[in-house]
Chains A and B, each alone.
Chain A
Amino acid sequence: MKTLATYNIKGGVGKTATAVNLAYVAASRGDRVLVWDLDPQGAATFYFRVKQKVKGGGKALVKGSGELADAIKATDFDNLDVVPSDFSYRHFDLWLDDAKKPLARIRRALKEIEDDYDWVFLDCAPSISLTSESVFRAADALIVPTIPTTLSFRTYEQLDRFIDDNPDMVRQIDVFGFFSMVDKHRRLHRKFMSDFRIDHPEILESIIPNSSDIERMGLERQPVGVYGRNSRSAKAYEQLWLEILRRMR
Chain B
Amino acid sequence: MTTTRRFFITGAGDFATVISVLQSRVGLSLVSDEKLERHWLDTNGQLLQQQSMLLEYARPEQNDAAAALRWSDAQRSIATNDFVSRQEPAVGSDLPEDAAWDRLRTLLGNESLTISLSTVTRRASFRHLNEDEKTTVRVVVDESSLQNGSALPVRLEITELRGYGDEADEVERKVHQHVALRPTSQTAFDTAQEFATAKHIEPLGYRVLSANDAETKSAAEGWHLVLRALGGAIFDEVKGIEARDVEALHRFRVAVRRMRTILQDGNDVIDKSARKQFRSEFQWLGEISTPARDADVLYELVQTSVLASEPVVDQVHSWRENQWDAFLLETRLERWKSLQKGWDDFLTDSKLWRSDIPDDARKPLRKVASKRILSSYERLCAEGSSITKKSPAEDLHELRKTAKRLRYLLESFGPLFPDDEVEAISKPLRRLQKVLGEFQDADIQAEQLLQLAGAAAIPLAEEAKNRCAQARREFPDAFAKIEKRSVRRAVKSLPGKGRKP
- Hey, which bits of chain A sit against chain B, CB under 8 A? 28-30, 32, 48-51, 55, 71-74, 76, 78-79, 81, 116, 221, 242
CA distance A74 to B71 in the complex (A): 19
CB <8 Å contact, B134 and A78:
no
CB <8 Å contact, A74 and B164:
yes
**A–B complex contacts, Cβ < 8 Å, 18 sampled:** A29-B79, A29-B98, A29-B100, A30-B79, A32-B1, A32-B76, A49-B132, A49-B133, A49-B134, A71-B163, A74-B2, A78-B76, A79-B77, A79-B78, A81-B162, A81-B163, A116-B1, A221-B133
Closest 8 CB pairs of A and B: A73-B163, A74-B161, A49-B134, A74-B162, A30-B100, A30-B78, A29-B100, A78-B77
Given contacts A50-B134, A72-B162, A81-B163, 8 further A-B contacts (CB under 8 A): A28-B79, A28-B98, A30-B71, A32-B1, A49-B133, A72-B1, A74-B163, A79-B77
Note all chain B residues with C-beta closer than 8 A to A72: 1, 162-163
CA distance A50 to B132 in the complex (A): 8
CA distance A55 to B103 in the complex (A): 36
A30 and B103 contact, Cβ closer than 8 Å, known pairs A74-B1, A81-B1, A116-B1: yes
Partner of A78 from the list B80, B132, B133 (CB cut-off 8 Å) is B80
CB of A77 to closest CB in B, whole Å: 10
Note all chain B residues with C-beta closer than 8 A to A73: 161-164
A28 and B100 contact, Cβ closer than 8 Å, known pairs A74-B2, A76-B134, A76-B135: yes
CA distance A78 to B75 in the complex (A): 12
- Give the size range of B's interface with the partner: 20 to 34
CA distance A50 to B131 in the complex (A): 10
Note all chain A residues with C-beta closer than 8 A to B79: 28-30
CB of B92 to closest CB in A, whole Å: 15
Note all chain B residues with C-beta closer than 8 A to A49: 132-134
Note all chain B residues with C-beta closer than 8 A to A50: 132, 134
- Residue interface bits B139-163, CB-to-A below 8 A is 1, else 0: 0000000000000000000000111
Most chain B CB within a 10 A radius of its CB, from A50, A71, A72, A221: A50
Note all chain A residues with C-beta closer than 8 A to B80: 78
- Residue interface bits B61-98, CB-to-A below 8 A is 1, else 0: 00000000001000011111000000000000000001
* Residues 124-138 (chain B) with a chain A CB within 8 angstroms: 130, 132-135
CA distance A50 to B136 in the complex (A): 10
B198 near A: Cβ within 8 Å?
no
CA distance A25 to B98 in the complex (A): 11
CA distance A242 to B103 in the complex (A): 15
Note all chain B residues with C-beta closer than 8 A to A29: 79, 98-100
Note all chain B residues with C-beta closer than 8 A to A51: 130, 132
CA distance A79 to B80 in the complex (A): 11
Note all chain B residues with C-beta closer than 8 A to A48: 134
CA distance A73 to B71 in the complex (A): 23
* Chain A residue nearest in CB terms to B71: A30
Note all chain A residues with C-beta closer than 8 A to B78: 30, 79
